[in-house]
Structure 1
Amino acid sequence: MTGLTETAAKRRKQLLRFISTDLLGPIAGKMPKSCIESLEKASSYSDVSSHILDIVPVIEPCIVKHDVAAKLPPFIRTEAVFGKRKLYLLRNATVSPASGMAWIGNRILEESVGSLRRIMDWGDVLHEPLLPARELRIPEPVVICHPATYYHWLLEVLPNVLFAVATFPDLKIVLPENPPRYVMDGLAAALGRDAQDDFLFASGPIRVQRLVVPQYHTQPEFTPPQVLELLRSAVKAKVVPQVPSSAGRPPSGARIYVSRQKSRRRLAGEAELEARLREMGFAVLHCEELSFAEQVRAFHRAEVVVGCHGAGLSNLAWCEPPCRVVEIFPRNYILDCFAWLSFSHGFDYRYVICSTGHRIDEQAMEAVIAAVP
């Protein structure tokens, strides 16, 4: 068998390098050709504008400044700027039920992912535009309800689905196959069990005739006030009976510790802290073992919430003031998303940083106990 000539081998190598660079970007680190681009910025291109059927504003822009009495370090922020949030109704677009990422041709729509910085934290999803897409031939508009982690699903995905449902009454909701329990429970709580007739399931990217793309915020650690109000009015009000209270908060307030002992990112020393807090009348909650409605009700009754930084603290969205929140951070990972949630509801927020890294040392434990009323 005759091998390739040297010239033919060089040409084949050049061709393979060209194809690889064209599809995946240079090794130097540039984005793939299917780059992330703003839909509105690209709307001047004829191959993009022909896909845009409507742009519907759902949240007006605002600047939020929380008046916090305590002196806080710079990494606990109290101000944020929120831009206008919109829904985009597109014709003949492709979307992934696993991540919510949408694209037209070789352009990933920035609005569907929030920003390049955000998508780089998602794991291996940039290959999705290279996967084969199945045609979903239905005339109704479609929105994706992708199963992000509990924090992002509760404070971003679910509100965006609710905005879309309110805007497009005949909407169909597409989910990946076998979504987490909290996704199905949360949708049932917000939309009712009858809404499941409007659910569709897909195992991979789909191409749809009419796609609703909600716009995601570039900084997910900040939740706009309109979203928090939507969760209370459209979700909590359906789960928790509205009993008037002269004190403005639910009776029989609970003291709860949000445990991460069954999580892969738990802190050492947590069992000892839990034992001490139990002696002080705290109930220890493993949120992953509770239904969505049980989490809503438990945090609705809370007057003190203590916990290590983690998804369980997303349920602060259901608490009522006055409420004391004590958050525990490992030394090398501090994110102020739950501080922001606390400030948004007028809670008394405190934090403790473990000086020994991923362990609740004696000093941190005493600081937590001292912060509990």
Structure 2
Amino acid sequence: MVTDYTGGTLPHQKVVDVPGTVVSIDPSNKLNYYHWTTEGLAGIALTLHYYPDARIMLPDNVFAREALDLFDIDPGRVVWYDPKAPTRESPGAQRYRIEALMRVDWRDVPGGHVVGPVDDPWRIHQPAAAGIRLARRHLLSKVRHEAGPKVIYVSRADAGYIRVVQDEERLLRALRAIVGPGCLHVFVAEPGKKPGVDAHESKTLLEQVALFASAELVIGPHGAGLSNIMFARDGCDLVYFPTNPMVDNCFAHLAAAVNARLHPVDAVTAYYFGPYHLDDAKIQAVVDTVTRVIQSRGWTIGSVCPTNDDDDDIKDI
């Protein structure tokens, strides 16, 4: 019901009346690629599927602006909010009085505990599989399915310290040896921060969708770049470096939602805010896991991509 309640609006703040139904898309982190790609896109896809005539409330950021084009959303349907405004009294915070407000949300099924006797507090970061699949299907329909990298290593070389793989080049040499020359594509989300990697390699969401659409094997540490398994080939294998303690199961959830096979390398772990340290034994553990995947797929060790006419698209660190 519409009332004159404003929640404590300051004198200089206007309240904008919005008639009809508005669906709020509110990722837990509005400026993070994982949270937007999974939570944000899943929320948009579910809204368009179940409430095609409703208006949509979105955070005003580059991700959401790009999504308007990707989902063919009329800008006139969007109610924007400032994701950087910490409180309702903050400068730039817009106040709305909405006739009917809905929120896309997901939570544990009562009694359906998957990690123990206590509800998983990280479930807020794990969208409904139906939303992930709807978003995946829609975005893959937007790209041309051309020959691309078959094996992708997702690096966090641009991340400074947090969950960066130290001595990563040693690992990459070992991986190249077992997948074959020219077959390993090294993806860095913001490669301009890494010496020797071209800044122009930074990709839009749709470019990342196109890049991962042909991937059958993805390898890498826990980080937002792994969100792109959402767009990989059906049945993709993910060789994953977990955190310790392993509190965040978001990539296990995402893999299950998109029919990917998850292969955690238990020997290679990092504290959530620390780096991954490598030694010969840990590198061998990764190699052994990748080797098992190669053999399970019937590929040839050292020649996973026997004919690669797309070498110009392979960017190695």
- Could you tell me whether the CA contact under 8 Å between 2:45 and 2:131 is conserved in 1? no
- CA-CA distance at 1:344 after TM superposition: 3.2
Q: Does 1:216 align with 2:77?
A: no
Superposed, which structure 2 residues align to 1:152-171 within 5 Å? 152-171=35-54
Partner amino acid, structure 1, of 2:220: G
Find 1:339's aligned residue among 241, 248, 252.
252
Aligned counterpart, 1:10 = none
Q: Find 2:170's aligned residue among 272, 275, 297.
A: 272
Q: TM-score, normalised by structure 1?
A: 0.55
Distance 1:344 1:323, change over 3 A: same
**C-alpha displacement of 1:189:** 1.0
Which digits, 9 at most, give the CA deviation of each residue in 1:258-300, with x for residues without a partner? Answer: 1111124232333432344355431111234211011111111
RMSD value, Cα: 3.1
1:199 aligns with 2:78: yes
Cα distance change, pair 338–204 in 1 and its aligned pair in 2 (3 A) = same
- Residue 130 of structure 1 and its aligned partner are, at CA, apart by 6.9
Separation of aligned partners in 1, 2:172 and 2:24: 39
State the AA in 2 paired with 1:189: L
Verify the 8 A CA contact 1:302 1:320 in the aligned structure 2. Answer: yes
CA distance in 1 between partners of 2:103 and 2:57 (Å): 14
CA 1:183 to 1:209, structure 2 compared with 1: closer, same or farther past 3 Å? closer
Letter in 2 for 1:184: R
- State whether structure 2 residue 96 is matched by structure 1 residue 183: no
Partner of 1:371, secondary structure, is helix
Higher CA-based Rg: 1
Q: Unpaired runs of 5+ in structure 2? A: 82-91, 108-122, 191-201, 295-317
Q: CA–CA distance in 2 between the matches of 1:217 and 1:323?
A: 25
Cα deviation, residue 316, structure 1? 1.2
Partner residue in 2 for 1:15: none
- Give the SS at the match of 2:216: strand
- Counterpart residue number, 2:289: 371
Name the CA distance, whole Å, in 2 between partners of 1:342 and 1:232. Answer: 12
Q: Which runs of 5+ in 1 are unaligned?
A: 1-50, 52-90, 94-103, 106-128, 244-249
Among 144, 151, 157, the alignment partner of 1:261 is 157
Whole-angstrom distance in 2 between the partners of 1:143 and 1:269: 46
Alignment partners' CA distance in 2, 1:303 and 1:320: 6
- With over 3 angstroms needed to count, the CA separation of the structure-2 counterparts of 1:334 and 1:139, relative to structure 1, is closer
TM-aligned CA deviation for residue 351 of structure 1: 0.9
What is the rounded CA distance, in whole Å, between the counterparts of 1:149 and 1:356 in structure 2? 20
1:167 shift after superposition: 4.6
Report the Cα offset of residue 168 of structure 1.
Answer: 4.5
The partner residue of 2:233 within 312, 320, 323 is 320
TM-score (normalizing by structure 2): 0.64
Q: Secondary structure at the match of 1:204?
A: coil
Aligned residues: 239
Structure 1 CA distance for aligned equivalents of residues 225 and 270 of structure 2: 23
Displacement after TM superposition at 1:310 (Å): 1.0
Q: Which has the higher strand share?
A: 1
- 1:69-108 superposed matches below 5 A: 91=2
